């Protein structure tokens, strides 16, 4: 599994401001601690909605979203918390939505899997596997027609590559040279089945070749690598050269849904899980920052304290917020 790793070194971070590096680190910690706390609240029975945790994959969301502009659009999946937070969505509103409260980002109607923050370009997540891929293509088509310079991003897992809409979307996007980036978070498992049991050729990025578009596979646990490749894909789109497929190799630590590690189930070898835990994307960046004297112990402690306070405030806000009124069930939803 060593072949999946790439180094964070001075050459790779050249040209990136130290403040940006520290902010990337802080954002990954925010996502990790938020997710860990959500897992605890699920175990305590305080959260009832199904939660698909993003723990372990933080470098993908942060690397991509830090490369984007605020008016660039992002579409997400059922495992959406990390993308939402990295794009700038409010933590209090997200926690309230997971509690299904009226103050949530989807007014308590979406729960964990259907969150939105259009004010920062996070246009929504969907529980339908592959469901957000054509939505991103639609926004990219509108951007192309309007000439507004906006780029759309679709996050999806390796399982979505089995859906016909994936191929229809990348074909249409490539044919029309649309400004869209397809980000496949390949965590090697579709629910509980390994990617090798589903796809004869597991090199997902190569599927771009058939549609004459750019495709690349990268270490998705290296936030700097994700950031730099997203920057290149953005430039590619802005130059009118069309879409890019970025396959990010990463790993979710917890089970498909909920906080369990699933070590008691014959799904994933414990040794495999722990190998990825030991190659934590946050730890890798933290070690580099401290080695290069970019981040001190004091600054690290301050970051963690502020994040814990923010999470506690988000929980308080969610628990004190009201549930939606029953007579407003059909408000704020599409009715055909």
Going by C-alpha positions, the residue among 40, 52, 45 that lies closest to residue 76 is 52
Contact 34, 311 (CB under 8 A): yes
pLDDT for position 223 = 97
- Give the 3-state secondary structure of residue 47: coil
- Give the 3-state secondary structure of residue 85: helix
Contact 177, 140 (CB under 8 A): no
304 contact partners, CB below 8 Å, separation of at least 6: 29, 33
pLDDT for position 331 = 74
Compute the half-sphere exposure of residue 41: CA atoms within 13 Å on the CB side of its CA: 25
Q: For 100-145, how does the pLDDT look when each residue is reduced to its tens digit (9 = 90+)? A: 999 999 999 999 999 999 999 999 999 999 999 999 999 999 999 9
- The burial class, CB within 10 Å (0-12 / 13-18 / 19+), for 16 is middle
pLDDT for position 325 = 86
pLDDT for position 287 = 96
Q: 250 to each of 22, 81, 185, 227, 294, how far by Cα in Å?
A: 21, 16, 7, 15, 26
pLDDT for position 86 = 98
Give the other-Cβ count within 10 Å of 256's Cβ.
18
Question: Residue 44 gets which letter from DSSP?
Answer: T
Going by C-alpha positions, the residue among 169, 160, 147, 153 that lies closest to residue 233 is 153
Domain boundaries, the chain: 17-319
Tell me what the pLDDT averaged over the chain comes to.
94
87 contact partners, CB below 8 Å, separation of at least 6: 61, 65, 68, 74, 117, 120, 121, 122
pLDDT tens-place values along the chain, 336 residues long = 566 678 898 999 999 999 999 999 999 999 999 999 999 999 999 999 999 999 999 999 999 999 999 899 999 999 999 999 999 999 999 999 999 999 999 999 999 999 999 999 999 999 999 999 999 999 999 999 999 999 999 999 999 999 999 999 999 999 999 999 999 999 998 888 888 899 888 999 999 999 999 999 999 999 999 999 999 999 999 999 999 999 999 999 999 999 999 888 888 999 999 999 999 999 999 999 999 999 999 999 999 999 999 999 999 999 999 999 887 777 776 666
- Give the 3-state secondary structure of residue 193: strand
Q: What is the CATH number of domain 17-319?
A: 3.40.50.970
With the CA atoms of 172, 244, 152 and 241 taken in that order, what torsion angle do they form, in degrees rounded to the nearest 10? -80
The Cα 271–Cα 36 span in angstroms is 21
pLDDT for position 335 = 64
Going by C-alpha positions, the residue among 39, 89, 40, 81 that lies closest to residue 61 is 81
pLDDT for position 5 = 79
């Amino acid at each position: 599994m060593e072949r999946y790793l790439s180094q964070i070194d001075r050459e790779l971070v050249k040209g990136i401001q130290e403040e940006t590096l520290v902010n990337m680190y802080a954002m990954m910690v925010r996502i990790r601690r938020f997710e860990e706390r959500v897992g605890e609240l699920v175990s305590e029975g305080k959260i009832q909605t199904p939660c698909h945790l993003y723990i372990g994959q933080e470098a993908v969301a942060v690397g991509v979203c830090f490369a984007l502009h605020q008016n660039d659009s992002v579409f997400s999946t059922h495992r959406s918390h990390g993308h939402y937070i990295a794009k700038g969505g409010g933590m209090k509103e997200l926690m309230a939505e997971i509690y299904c409260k009226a103050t949530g980002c989807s007014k308590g109607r979406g729960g964990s899997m259907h969150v939105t923050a259009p004010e920062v370009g996070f246009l929504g997540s969907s529980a339908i596997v592959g469901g957000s891929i054509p939505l991103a293509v639609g926004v990219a088509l509108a951007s192309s027609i309007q000439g507004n310079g906006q780029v759309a991003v679709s996050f999806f897992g390796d399982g979505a590559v089995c859906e016909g809409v994936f191929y229809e979307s990348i074909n249409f996007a490539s044919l029309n040279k649309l400004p869209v980036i397809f980000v496949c978070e390949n965590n090697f498992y579709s629910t509980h089945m390994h990617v090798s049991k589903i796809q004869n050729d597991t090199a997902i990025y190569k599927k771009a070749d058939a549609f004459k578009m750019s495709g690349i596979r990268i270490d998705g646990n290296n936030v700097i690598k994700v950031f730099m490749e997203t920057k290149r894909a953005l430039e590619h789109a802005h130059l009118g050269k069309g879409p890019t497929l970025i396959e990010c190799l990463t790993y979710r630590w917890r089970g498909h849904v909920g906080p369990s590690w699933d070590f008691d189930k014959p799904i994933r070898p414990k040794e495999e899980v722990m190998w990825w835990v030991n190659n934590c994307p946050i730890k890798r960046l933290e070690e580099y920052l401290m080695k290069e004297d970019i981040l001190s112990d004091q600054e690290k402690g301050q970051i963690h304290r502020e994040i814990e306070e923010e999470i506690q405030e988000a929980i308080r806000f969610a628990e004190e917020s009201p549930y939606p009124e029953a007579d407003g069930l059909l408000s704020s939803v599409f009715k055909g």
